[in-house]
A = this chain, B = another copy of it.
Amino acid sequence: MQGVTFSISQLAQEFDVTTRTIRFYEDQGLLEPQRDGQRRIYTRRDRVRLMLILRGKRIGLSLLEIRELFDLYDAASNDEPQLREFIRILSRKEQQLQEQLDDIRVVMGEISQIRSQCEKALDKQAGSKP
């Protein structure tokens, strides 16, 4: 029993990125798929990693930051200072995310205000030529 695997283009399709992108992530040390000869073979673990990479990007992490988190998470399982460092980084990031979330709320509030103003303006115009 060898488990489910994926080709590079399968993953590319599924996550709507190019194969170039996936190889690039490998260059950056974010993925390390096995090989069958030359060809890359991706396990479910690799697939999860890719998901994490993309989610990390969506919340504004750089590839380098993502890599650092991966490295720490991989290496931290046994070493106390590493674990402490990991927790520190996570806390910091959590705080940043909270600030980002606040920003987003503010902007979304402003957007809805502006939009309702726009819509009022359109209503006036529509009413003026019946």
Given contacts A100-B59, A103-B55, contact A94 B76 (CB under 8 A): no
- Asked if A114 and B97 make an inter-chain contact with CB atoms under 8 angstroms apart, the answer reads no
- Which of A10-18, A35-43, A116-124 contacts its partner? A116-124
With a CB–CB cut-off of 8 A, which chain B residues contact A119?
Answer: 87
- Asked if A93 and B111 make an inter-chain contact with CB atoms under 8 angstroms apart, the answer reads yes
Main secondary structure of the interface of A (DSSP, over half): helix
With a CB–CB cut-off of 8 A, which chain B residues contact A80?
Answer: 122, 125
- Asked if A114 and B55 make an inter-chain contact with CB atoms under 8 angstroms apart, the answer reads no
Give A87 to B122 CA distance when docked, in angstroms. Answer: 11
Chain A 46-81 interface 0/1 with B at a Cβ cutoff of 8 Å (1 = within): 000000000110111000000000000100110010
Closest B residue by C-beta to A56 = B107
A91 on the interface (CB 8 Å rule)? yes
With a CB–CB cut-off of 8 A, which chain B residues contact A86?
Answer: 118
Chain A positions within 8 Å of B, measured between CB atoms, are: 55-56, 58-60, 73, 76-77, 80, 83-84, 86-87, 90-91, 93-94, 97-101, 103-108, 111-112, 114-115, 118-119, 121-122, 125
